Amino acid sequence: MNETQRIRLVIVDDHDMLRGGLALFIQTCPDLQLVGEASSGKEALDVCEHLQPDIVLMDLMMPEMDGITAIRMLRDRFPSIRSIALSSFADENLVPSALSAGAISYLLKNASVDVLASAIRDAYAGKVTLAPEAAQALVSAAQRPTVPNYPLSTREQEVLGLLVNGLTNIEIAERLVIGTSTVKKHVSSIFAKLGVTSRSEAVALAMRHHLVVE
């Protein structure tokens, strides 16, 4: 098999050890080629723009820009690149949000080498792979009762929209012409009202329940 026939991959994860483990696995597969790595969603966008891989293995929980936002932006900017979401867990918010953002597959990080290799090849062929836990999360999400309204103020909705777009607190402050301390207060209030504890969870919930108008 020559190099042009191999599936070109980029690994995105903020943990060096996991990236290293995935890199070793890829080296054992003659039809796969690791062409790049990134430790954040923002870095992933730059790497993918430069390298144009076939498949991205995307962690969902990362600082600076979470994986769901990165997947959505990759889909919008580079439709030919397919993303496989990799996460330590599958819940009723993350799984639908990752798939809605554009992930073709959703796997847990404890997936076997054979399962991951098969999922990569299937993704390259345009086929979906869901971990059993992810499939169950989709079923559970579909069976949930109607979502209650979240009492976000107009300003909080603006801040949440910028969080979904991957902006940092400093960037949000510059965009809205307010202080970073004010942004932090809005973010804390958003977390409290949504019942979440991280930016990734807030983004996942916002996308799952369409709390932000594109």
Tens-place pLDDT, residues 95-110:
998 999 999 999 999 9
Q: How confident is the model at residue 214 (pLDDT cuts 50, 70, 90)?
A: low
- Provide the pLDDT for residue 93: 83
pLDDT tier at 121, thresholds 50, 70, 90? very high
Torsion angle of the four alpha carbons 107, 13, 173, 93, in this order, in degrees rounded to the nearest 10: 10
Q: What is the mean pLDDT of the chain?
A: 90
Domains and CATH numbers, the chain: 3-143 (3.40.50.2300), 154-208 (1.10.10.10)
Q: Which two tokens stand for residue 186?
A: 């809005």
Say what the pLDDT of residue 196 is.
Answer: 87
Dump strand ranges (E) for 13-164: 32-38, 55-59, 82-87, 103-108, 129-130
* Other CB atoms within 10 Å distance of the CB of residue 71: 29
Residue 82 is predicted with a pLDDT of: 97
Residues 6+ apart with CB under 8 A from 38: 10, 11, 12, 44, 46, 47
Averaged over 73-87, what is the pLDDT?
Answer: 95
1 — pLDDT class (breaks 50, 70, 90): very low
